[in-house]
Structure 1
Amino acid sequence: MNKLRILACVVAVGFASAHAQEWKPAGDKIMTTWGENLNHQQPHPEYPRPQLERKDNWKNLNGLWKYAIVEQGVSAAPTQWDGDILVPFAVESALSGVGRSLNKDQALWYKNEISVPTRWQKGKTLLHFGAVDWRCDVYVNGQHIGQHEGGFDPFSMDISKALKKGEKQEVVIRVWDPTSDGPQPRGKQINNPHGIWYTPVSGIWQTVWVESVPTTYIVATKQTPNVDKSTLSVSANVEAVQSGDQLVVEAFDGGKKIAEATAAASATIELPLSNVTLWSPDNPKLYDLQVKVLRGGKVVDQAKSYFAMRKISMKADDKGIQRMYLNDKFVFHYGPLDQGWWPDGLHTAPSDEALKFDVIKTKEMGFNMIRKHIKVEPARWYRHCDSLGILVWQDMPSGDLGGNVWDMQPGKVSNGQHDKDRTPESEAIHRKEWKSIMDHLHNFPSIVIWVPFNEAWGQFKTEEITKWTMEHDPSRLVNSASGGNFAYVGHILDIHNYPDAAMPDPRLFGDKFILALGEFGGFGLPIDGHTWQNKDNWGYVSFKNKEELTDRYQKAVTDLSKLIPRGLSAAVYTQTTDVEVETNGLMTYDRKVIKIPENTLKKMHSVLYNQ
């Protein structure tokens, strides 16, 4: 190699190294160990859709994209860009490398050049988004592909017709997110973070990926176990299905096939199963599923999935008190309020390992349930709960807050008296996203309860929304209003009480509803060097050291255990981790300090399950 070529190589290597070093976390807040060790060239590289796997023809598009923040009214894509943003982290987060806020008068733009193999272009090419907050317009090679509204549900777009010759394709995305200035579901985000309200999350915050599929392909499956009949109901949404196409469903236990059935591609298959092991927190047994579309006896498309056999139901005990039964046995549900926030990634865990860590620690602490609080996680989080054995109560993210009265005392208000009067637009946004979330999460067996509303936050038409939820998914129980305005509908009556354990009066409500304590505790302990800010941190009750915290928590669990024989079926402790200025977590926000040892907590909690 001559000197000129050597010099050229050195310059090229130097440029690549400099570009690779451009990204760094923004701001000066605390970080998790996973965030500190993040490989920004491959963030969240895992296959993102565990309930419908086609691993042969897909590409992860996470990594550095160009971004720009411009005036909201500008419809054309920017010609100049502000810099790089690390996808899939929200623009406000440290791990995005940007750390900038976005308001309702601005739009956030992304641009990336992606590579699509030419062999893919024989079928269809799909662009997938795990979640984008909130309104997202997608352009490929200058063509507008479509728009999606919804900050917590995944969506896909067929970009086949916009692809140009060759492998290189340009993807541009425009995002508008008004956060608390709009009526859309947003959970704990607020434009002015304070107290129990957190930093906004705007733009892409879950994995972006591209996939090649045949012209006829499986869009989604719906799997519902029926323990009483020993069957699994399976249906599939098949794009471009043709007359005569067949759906084949095969169930496996390890590598052994245990059941198979074939029907028309548009039919619902009732797959008979025998001698199956039921899923529970003590034994989270999962079975594999293979779904195929056949045409003329040949496989047109196929995907892998999985399922579990488990039953959640409501039934009166021998005292006439309504209880929650798992597989026809009373199981007391006890778990933390899990916000799912991260100091470095906000809504986005820094890695899949981090995402799984919270579930592992929850299990090690002796909890058997998690209430996922007004947030929806990436699909892989639910897969971890399925695999590890954690019952999940899934909240609908709240939005359009304010304007209605909160009365959390059951028995004192009439049905729907304090429901919010939302605009038709606001109602439509809520209904659309709630349906999309329920459909998206339906196949995860760990989810046993839907929670449409929390503490009157945007709560409207409670009876109607609750009844619709029950009808849309009769395989689960519905907690209509956790700690909110009670319309006496659904399966569960749920109060919030801080800091002490309490319950609804079983003499008034026990024969009609499952009785739950949807939130309590909130014991705060700030740990120096591990807080969001240096002072003015907050908890419902604060303590000076771990010993004081442990003693107070032990008392709370003892008090809680006395309520179970009286009719309490579930309780939720606030909370898994500290979040921003809240220091009432069992772990610090950066997950580096566990305030009460896991084994100590597990021993304490054992009394709750042995009654």
Structure 2
Amino acid sequence: MNENIHPRPQLARGQWLDLNGPWDFAYDDQNEGLDKCWQLREDIYNKTIQVPFPPESQASGIADTGYHPYLWYRRTLNLPAAYNGKRLILHFGAVDYSAQIWVNGQLVATHEGGHTPFSADITSVIQKEGKQTIVVRAEDQPKDLAQPRGKQDWLEQTHDIWYKRTSGIWQQVWLEPVSQDYITNVRWTPNLSQNTLTQEITIQSHTKTPLRVRTQLFLRGELLLDDTYLLQGQTLKRDLSLAFANIERGDLLWSPEHPNLLDATITLLEDDKIVDQVQSYAGIRGIGTQNGRFLLNGHPYYLRLVLQQGYWPQSHLASPSQEALRREAELVKELGFNGVRIHQKIEDPRFLCWCDRLGIIVWGEIANAYTFTRESQLRLTHEWLEAVERDYSHPCIVAWVPINESWGVPNLLNDPAQRHFSQGLYHLTRALDPTRPVMGNEGWEHVESDILGIHDYAFFGETLQKRYGDEEAIDNTFASDQPGNRVLLFANERNSDAPIMLTEFGGISYRPQEGEAWYGYGTVTTREAYLAKYRELINSVLTSPAIAGFCYTQFTDTEQERNGLLTEQRESKFDISTIKQINQQPAAQLSGDAPIRLRENQ
């Protein structure tokens, strides 16, 4: 089934105009477009690009992987008659890396940050008659290592674990008609100990009319709550009780096994007149860490994650279709994982929606820079705050990862400023979202983290058992061993509440094609050998009572990195049922454990 999901699933209106498709396009390699006012011209556009696919990709129709730092887009459109008298909001899901937007020759928006959304109210520049013209100038410096770029290669030819670039528009573009007063943000925070769901609503008001907010919550179509409240100012924060007659508490809770969601209809009212209405949803679940365990809804819960790069061969960071996003989530479940670590990418909100619906745990992560400068700190912090704000209400997200493997803080051990930056991001994230664990630096050199993730690509299960087989082995590993030739823990003492997880391991490559530059972190030559090695590595982790979860590398082959469980085209290399059976074997840490009362993260 190919369902048309709104580009912003937790704040969806029924009326919106999809602006994906063919746009006029031009490179500006000499960076002369601003001086020559290209935003006012139409003769310089000599190509056609399929938005939202980056020009480096085949799906864009251009497929030019060379260095082109400056990109220009142009599109004209006629507004539907139904939009007359409405305010018009122009939305961009993501433009890598910075963008300037003109409508009818007037600058309406600027934005920096290649993975986060932005919008502009373009009502005042709309022409009453004729076509409207939208122009986008995107800048993406391919060699700038202070720019948060994640896995996008800065070399002309891809190498090692870095892939082809994604420049310019790569997520959805749409136009939305709204009333003079309209809802701009909805935020949900479940609180299991209080049995409440906190609702925060922000509106934009262009009138002085008294307004009320009506919230209706539904569980599988059944109305559970109908709450109306007078709006004072432009924000509303309200605790909604989850004590419903004839509804068991367990029927409300979200988990991978039971991904229950509360659908919400939020209506802005002037007297009895509907001013604005949006559809949203919330998941009721609690996250915590205690005594070395990860807790979901007050119970120890073992994480069985897979590393997902979020690249497609024909479209790079952009998903090739809505159906591809849904199929991505379905395959994670079919392989027997209960979650994904989305690696060095802020994923399309529609994928997170499928994770919410299907029950897939997600670690939210941002693309990092590769150098430590004032500019790299400001850029990463700004974009990370936007990412946390965008995805805060998704129940699937259970942890935040602002830094991976000391990327962007390469001298963290010896430079106090780099340690302060890592700690600062940790504390800033916890201040914005005290409900989820945060890893100040994922993989090694932990300065401050609620989960101690370890990256270890040992080829033999025996090696992993020696390092992580029990608490004593882990203490010895933290004290003396250095997987990846990196110190694991910067602090003198481990936080006893912080779970220990093997958050990158495996990476086994099966039969690389002749001439490929990548051979994985270890290579086997037959399917039988791969499955035996996979079972060996997974078992070495599952049998440790000291390990609270894992993240296997990786979900799919990605360009030259041929170490996926699936091919780049999401086709199975091995029997999926066998992989699932291996992944879902019992975990030693959970054996005999009684439920633990959830203690909120402090």
| TM-score of the pair, normalised by structure 1 | 0.84
Residues 1:143 and 2:106 aligned together: yes
Residue in 1 that maps onto 2:494: 509
> Are the equivalent residues in 1 in contact too, given 2:70–2:138 (CA < 8 A)?
yes
Distance 2:213 2:86 in 1: 20
Match of 1:262, SS state, is strand
Q: 1:118 offset after TM fit, Å?
A: 3.8
Match of 2:542, SS state, is helix
Q: 1:225 offset after TM fit, Å?
A: 0.9
Q: 1:296 offset after TM fit, Å?
A: 2.9
The CA deviation string for residues 313-364 of structure 1, in whole angstroms up to 9 with x for no partner, is 1112xxxxx2111011111101111000000000012111111222111111
Residues 1:184 and 2:147 aligned together: yes
Q: Give the direction of change, closer, same or farther, for the CA distance of 1:45–1:303 in structure 2 (3 Å limit).
A: closer
Residue in 1 that maps onto 2:455: 496
Match of 1:246, SS state, is strand
Residues 1:253 and 2:219 aligned together: yes
Match of 1:374, SS state, is coil
Q: 1:51 offset after TM fit, Å?
A: 0.6
- The code of the aligned residue for 1:67 comes to F
Q: Give the direction of change, closer, same or farther, for the CA distance of 1:52–1:526 in structure 2 (3 Å limit).
A: farther
Q: 1:182 offset after TM fit, Å?
A: 4.8
Distance 2:304 2:31 in 1: 45
Q: Give the direction of change, closer, same or farther, for the CA distance of 1:434–1:264 in structure 2 (3 Å limit).
A: farther
Residue in 1 that maps onto 2:540: 559
Q: Give the direction of change, closer, same or farther, for the CA distance of 1:538–1:264 in structure 2 (3 Å limit).
A: farther
Residue in 2 that maps onto 1:219: 184
Distance 2:33 2:259 in 1: 51
> Are the equivalent residues in 1 in contact too, given 2:263–2:281 (CA < 8 A)?
yes
Q: 1:46 offset after TM fit, Å?
A: 4.5
Residue in 2 that maps onto 1:572: 551
Match of 1:491, SS state, is coil
Residue in 2 that maps onto 1:93: 57
Distance 1:150 1:256 in 2: 40
Match of 2:336, SS state, is coil
Q: 1:131 aligns with which of 94, 111, 130?
A: 94
Distance 1:334 1:202 in 2: 33
Distance 1:588 1:245 in 2: 53
> Are the equivalent residues in 1 in contact too, given 2:365–2:402 (CA < 8 A)?
yes
- The code of the aligned residue for 1:62 comes to N
**Residues 42-121 of structure 1 aligned to structure 2 (within 5 Å):** 46-55=5-14, 57-70=15-28, 71-75=30-34, 76-77=37-38, 79-101=43-65, 103=67, 106-121=69-84
Q: 1:189 offset after TM fit, Å?
A: 0.5
Distance 1:102 1:471 in 2: 41
Q: Once superposed, what is the RMSD of the aligned Cα atoms? A: 2.0
**Residues 158-557 of structure 1 aligned to structure 2 (within 5 Å):** 158-166=121-129, 168-192=131-155, 193-240=158-205, 242=208, 244-265=210-231, 266-274=235-243, 275-276=248-249, 277=251, 278-316=253-291, 322-399=292-369, 401-402=370-371, 420=372, 422-423=373-374, 425-459=375-409, 460=418, 461-487=421-447, 489-500=448-459, 501=464, 502-503=467-468, 506-507=474-475, 509=494, 511-526=496-511, 535-557=516-538
Q: Give the direction of change, closer, same or farther, for the CA distance of 1:392–1:96 in structure 2 (3 Å limit).
A: same
Q: 1:604 aligns with which of 582, 590, 597?
A: 582
> Are the equivalent residues in 1 in contact too, given 2:200–2:236 (CA < 8 A)?
yes
Distance 2:71 2:159 in 1: 24
> Are the equivalent residues in 2 in contact too, given 1:576–1:587 (CA < 8 A)?
yes
Q: Give the direction of change, closer, same or farther, for the CA distance of 1:196–1:353 in structure 2 (3 Å limit).
A: same
Match of 1:99, SS state, is coil
Match of 1:603, SS state, is helix
Distance 2:84 2:145 in 1: 39
- The code of the aligned residue for 2:31 comes to Q
> Are the equivalent residues in 2 in contact too, given 1:336–1:574 (CA < 8 A)?
yes
- The code of the aligned residue for 2:334 comes to E
Match of 1:218, SS state, is strand
The CA deviation string for residues 390-415 of structure 1, in whole angstroms up to 9 with x for no partner, is 1111112111x14xxxxxxxxxxxxx
Residue in 2 that maps onto 1:411: none
Distance 1:540 1:527 in 2: 12
Stretches of structure 1 lacking an aligned partner (at least 5 in a row): 1-42, 317-321, 403-419
Q: 1:518 offset after TM fit, Å?
A: 1.5
> Are the equivalent residues in 2 in contact too, given 1:195–1:538 (CA < 8 A)?
no
Q: 1:167 offset after TM fit, Å?
A: 5.2
Match of 2:327, SS state, is helix
- The code of the aligned residue for 2:289 comes to M
Residue in 1 that maps onto 2:85: 122
**Residues 4-23 of structure 1 aligned to structure 2 (within 5 Å):** none
Q: 1:73 offset after TM fit, Å?
A: 3.8
Stretches of structure 2 lacking an aligned partner (at least 5 in a row): 410-417, 476-492, 592-602
Distance 1:511 1:285 in 2: 32
Q: 1:606 offset after TM fit, Å?
A: 2.0
Match of 2:356, SS state, is helix
Q: 1:92 offset after TM fit, Å?
A: 0.3
- The code of the aligned residue for 1:255 comes to G
- The code of the aligned residue for 1:513 comes to A
Q: Give the direction of change, closer, same or farther, for the CA distance of 1:161–1:227 in structure 2 (3 Å limit).
A: same
Q: 1:479 offset after TM fit, Å?
A: 1.8
> Are the equivalent residues in 1 in contact too, given 2:308–2:341 (CA < 8 A)?
yes
Residue in 2 that maps onto 1:11: none
> Are the equivalent residues in 2 in contact too, given 1:470–1:490 (CA < 8 A)?
no
> Are the equivalent residues in 2 in contact too, given 1:121–1:160 (CA < 8 A)?
no
| TM-score of the pair, normalised by structure 2 | 0.85
> Are the equivalent residues in 1 in contact too, given 2:282–2:395 (CA < 8 A)?
yes
Q: 1:226 offset after TM fit, Å?
A: 1.0
Q: 1:526 offset after TM fit, Å?
A: 4.2
